[in-house]
Amino acid sequence: MRRKFKVAVLGATGMVGVRFISLLVGHPWFKLVAAAASERSKGQRLREAVRWLPPQGLPEEILEFEVKSLSPKELEAADVVFSALPSDVAGRVEEEFARAGFAVFSNASSHRMDKDVPVLNPEVNADHAFLVEEQRKRRRWSGFIVTNPNCTAAVLTLSLKPILDGFGIRRVLVSTMQALSGAGYPGVPSLDIVDNIIPFIKGEEEKVERETLKMMGSPSKPASFKISASCHRVSTIDGHLEAVFVELGRKAEPSEVAEAMEVFQGEPQKLGLPTAPKPPIVVKGENDRPQPRLDRMAGGGMAVVVGRMRKDPGLNGVKYVVLGHNTIRGAAGCSILNAELLAAKRLIS
């Protein structure tokens, strides 16, 4: 193996930023060399600036990092940046980094719907990765931007991929029960969620619908099946649970669909990428699974867990429940897998 890529995290002090860092600790291909955040945190130790830490903490030497500002100049030591920036600043900052030659892997939604920016969930649409070449050419950038999808769409599309490949999809309806960490930190006030549900997450349904079609289409054309999402916040820490109803392209038994999921291997599994879960889809036979607390860490938080595959009398298709870790598969972990994919395809160097 060649030398490790040097990487930095933008927006390193929020919940997804910290998740990026914790997944990069000990990574075989990537070495974290810097952490950057908004001017408010600049110059502080990461230790003081982080708003949230995982239970297991972070290594001392990383907590001692001085927080850099969001400028390509300051992060010259890195080749690759992972962006956990909020959408309102991500748009501009990420472009600056891409122009300056960085490979930018972003969790922000700002550029996801740009025609020449791939929304990449590697088991689903690894073939979209090559869009970065078109992007570079068109924009005359030496770097590029690759985005990962919205957390809910990441989980959904991974579960839909073997269905699309094996049976075709005419229609998808999805109703979600999403975890608190999806709103970041401090995020949802406790008074709003104890003994309660919030049946609304701003912009979420549009993202799920749009990004799913973009990912499941060809690089140049979104998929044409119908899709509708209803998104709700419930009182779980991590792990988005989604009830999915699918009208298939051709008749199939639920057991056939479950089997297609079980044997499914994506490009990351075939390439043996370090963060690729094996298998990417865990199919449960017990009728009361998946459950967020029990199943969200499947495959290190990178697998999705499917259960309750059954006939759907509403669409004459199948219905099932799928769970995935929203800040790992649905955010930082997906972005890191994207970077691994582009490294394996020699699209970053």
- Give catalytic residue positions: 151, 240
Long-range contacts of 44-48 (CB under 8 A, 24+ apart): 46/12, 46/13
Q: What one-character-per-residue DSSP string does 30-71 give?
A: EEEEEEE--TTTTTSBHHHH-S---TT---HHHHTPBEEPS-
Answer for which of 71, 87, 265, 291 binds a copy of itself (CB under 8 A) is: 291
Site for a copy of itself in 170-189 (CB under 8 A): 171-173, 175, 177, 180-181, 185-189
| β-sheet bridge partners, residue 161 | none
Shortest separation between residue 173's beta carbon and a copy of itself, angstroms: 4
How many other C-beta atoms are found inside a 10 Å radius of the C-beta of residue 349? 9
Answer for which of 68, 245, 260, 282 binds a copy of itself (CB under 8 A) is: 245
Site for a copy of itself in 42-101 (CB under 8 A): 52-53, 55-56
Site for a copy of itself in 180-239 (CB under 8 A): 180-181, 185-200, 209, 226-228, 230, 232, 234-237
Tokens of 48: 């003081």
- Candidates 30-38, 77-85, 97-105, 288-296: pick the segment binding a copy of itself (CB under 8 A): 288-296
Nearest to 113 by CA among 208, 209, 204, 214: 214
**Cβ closest to a copy of itself, residue 247 vs residue 340:** 247
Shortest separation between residue 33's beta carbon and a copy of itself, angstroms: 28
Q: How far apart are CA 89 and CA 246, in angstroms?
A: 36
Q: How far apart are CA 62 and CA 32, in angstroms?
A: 9
Binding site for a copy of itself (CB under 8 A): 15, 52-53, 55-56, 171-173, 175, 177, 180-181, 185-200, 209, 226-228, 230, 232, 234-237, 241, 243, 245, 287-295, 297, 307-308, 312-316, 319, 321
